[in-house]
Structure formats: structure tokens, C-alpha cells
Amino acid sequence: MFKRVLIANRGEIACRIIRTLKSLGIASVAVYHHEDRSAPHVGMADQAVLLEADVPTAAYLDQAQLVDVARRTGADAVHPGYGFLSENADFAEGVTTAGLTFIGPEAHTIRLMGDKIRSRAFAAEHGLPVAPSVIEADAARFTARALEIGFPLLIKAAAGGGGKGIRIVRRAAELTDNLATAAAEATRYFGDARVYAERYIEQPRHIEVQIVGDSHGDVVHLFERECSLQRRYQKIVEESPAPNLPAGVRAALCEAAVSLARAARYLNAGTVEFVLAPGGEFYFLEMNTRLQVEHAVTECVLGLDLVAEQLRIAAGAPLSLKQEALAPRGHAIECRICAEEPEHDFRPATGRVAVLEPPRGPGVRFDGGIRVGQAITPAFDSMLAKLVVHGATRAEAAGRMESALAGLTLLGVPTNIDYLRRVVMHPEFLAGRLHTGFLGAHAAGLTPVAKPAEAAAAAIAALLTEPEFSQVAFEVPEPHATIGHWRN
């Protein structure tokens, strides 16, 4: 096993990895930009090293500097977490070239599965269902093929992720402009202008399967997660098991995920994502070659530590998990706590954490990476923490989540906490009738109820706009105008 591991990340996931390292007696090395100097992960680690960079995000993306820090601190492995360089094949290669272990899949696997176009072709070659799609570099041929498939279409960036570079096209007249916009976004976010299009399925579910593979050729699945509740193509609520999922569909999804992982000779933890149509047919979407934000719900229902399993696999040990011995227990739900304003189209928010009191109780887990006094800036992703609950049933888990959200106090920066409470208590959520357009479809029922003071202010504002009231009110003489210069 490793003696010292460098975490090439920050925030919640860095804290999460450090906790497991401590439990295994492995020393941890944190890295940080000057703006993060007082962040919790810096204080939690056995050693913390300042990264030099003018822009905060650039520090965590500086591959050469990260590898140099790992070597200087005596680390024998690097854990990339999620985001930043976690799916960067060049970084994985650079780590191994330096004589260190990359805790994740091999570089060639990241290159294969990280490219949406190549991974779709690979999946199709190995028997996974793939939605009808357009993959053409020539604009004229792209348009012709799109017209053959029909609309609506979903345009996506080949090197994309995180909801960037995605456009829905419902009519042929919208195709050219949306192609240009998607390509521009892909270039800006990923440095790769390639895009493709696939048949857009109305009101689909987003189901993903967690898989783990070792260096001895063994692969297991850790069942599925429901990730349909999204805003701007980014998840905010995840759960496991997926509600109202027929046993046959669940088995087929898990079997397809394992089949793909075996074909790719996948090493370490990864996730195979699918689009599930209302009729029950499903299509391969993509593969994430890293630990997912929502891995905690899988840990809760299976009673395991995925980061610990990642470490064992990276160290060359065989899987400690046997498929026949794995069985989900109960139900888990995760909510992503974000610095954003749901009432204003989820725009990111900034501020300084004034009060932070995580909830407590049976089956409640709070994975955070912030502290009181910490500045929340636009420099990083808006996610501040994850709130995870586990219950014997889905109904119990939903009730625990609502109570946990009510008990979570986070002041100083606008968050989506109250919005998430309304989501998990919505009748359609409780019934498990979920799809990727859920938040938009039920927007009216997810708006906050006006408080008495706010309602009174709105009523007064409405009254002032009434023509008759305004005329009478503003024709009344101004008292001070009738008493000259005298004042009391």
C-alpha cells in the first residue's frame, strides 16, 4: 500500500480523500492556491504545499507543478479526485512517467472513453445500444445526415462534460446557428471544436452504473444511480437505487456497463452513463473515467468506501468486492449544496461563510469543504458541499433529507438549500416520476411561497401602479410646502 498520497484537488473531494487516507494510516499531501490558504483541506492534510499561479484555477491545472510537488514531498501516488485534471490523459501519463502511481484508469483508457465520439463508436462495436447520431466533420454532410435522422437533436461537444457545449435543436432552421454556438463553447471550455449530434429523447431518465475493475481482469458493478434531476445539464439530486426501475431494465443496464468495462480493460473506478427512454429502451451516453461526485449514495447503500477500494486497486491488489455478495440495502439520496440563486435561473452566488452548522441525525452524512469565514468566489465551481441521507425505504430517505436540509444552516452566501427542500417534498418526486426536464416542468410548484412582509410589499407596489390610487395619492398637498422655512 502507499505511504504518501498527493491529492491534486481542493474543496469537498480533497477533504473526502484525506479522511480515507487517515483511516488507512496513509500520509496526505494537499495542494492549494493562495486564495485557498485557509480552506479546510489545507489544515486536514499532513502536509500542504502552495501552488504558484496568478489565476486560482490555473494552479490546480498546472500538471508539471503538481508532479513536481508530488516528487518533492515524497508522495508515491496521486489521487486526482473529480474535475480539474481527473480525466486528463496527459496528466495520468505524466504521473506514471515520473515513477508515481495515478489513482485512476490508465491514460489510454481515459483517451478512449473521454472522447465522446470514439467512446460511442467503441460502445457500439461491443454491442451497447447507441442513439441514432451524426458524426461528420463536413458541415454539409452533417446537415444532410441530421435531416435524415430528424428532430429534435441534441448537439454535444466531443470532448465535453459538465453540461458545456450542449444544444437542443428542434427544427432544421435552428441547426446551423446551434452548431456554431456548440462548437464555440466546445473550443472555449475544452480546446476542441468537434461536436456531434444524437437523437434527442423527450423526458428521458439519466441512469448511471458504477463499475470497478482491477489489474487482474476482474470487473464488478455497484448497481445504478438515478441522476435525472438536473439544471443546465448538471445534476443536483442523485439517489440509489433508481425509483420505479423494472428489475429487467436494471439488470440489462448493469450487464451492459460491465460488458463495456471489460472490453476496455478498465482499471479502477468509473461510471457508465445511459439515457433511459420512457418506453424502457436505453442508450449509451458516455463513460466517466473517475470517481463521481455522487459516489456517496453508492457507498451508503452498499456499506463500502469507494476511495479505499480505489487505493487498493491502484496498489495492485485484486478487488475485495465479489458481485454475488453485493446487494443494496435501503435507499440513499444526495443533494448538492451550491452557492447559487435558483429564483434567478440558478445564477452562481458569492459571499463569505458567516455561519455553518451541518445537520445531525441517523443516516445523515455531510461532505463539506468550506469553513466559517471562507470567501466564496466565482473562481471555482459553485458546489460547496454534499448532503447525503440513508433510510430503510425511499420514503424514509426523502423525509430524512427534508429534515436534514431544514437543519442545515449556511449563512453569508445565497444557496439552493430551500429550493432543494421543495424538490424532495414535491409530490412527483415522492412518487418517483423523474426525468431530466423535471425541474423545468414543475418550476411553478418549486417557486418559494412569499413571506408575509414580502407579500405586503408586493401588494403595496401593485396598489401604487393603479391609476386612480396614484392620481389621488399624489394630488394631496405636500405638508412641508405650506409652512415656509419653519421647521420643528
Q: Which residue numbers are catalytic?
A: 290
Calpha distance 241→434 (Å, rounded): 13
Q: 130 vs 120, 197, 256, CA distance in Å?
A: 7, 12, 12
CA angle 311, 95, 119 (to 5 degrees): 80
Q: Please enumerate in sequence order all residues whose Cβ is within 8 A of that of 310, keeping only pairs 6 or more positions apart, or say none.
A: 79, 103, 104, 268, 269, 291
Long-range contacts of 134-140 (CB under 8 A, 24+ apart): 134/196, 134/197, 134/198, 135/196, 137/194, 139/176, 139/179
Residue pair 261/211 in contact by the 8 Å Cβ criterion: yes
Calpha distance 41→56 (Å, rounded): 15
Q: Which three cell numbers stand for residue 247?
A: 428489475
How many Cα atoms sit within 13 Å of 267 on the Cβ side?
21
Tell me the three state secondary structure of residue 199.
strand
Residue pair 224/250 in contact by the 8 Å Cβ criterion: yes
CA angle 306, 307, 310 (to 5 degrees): 90
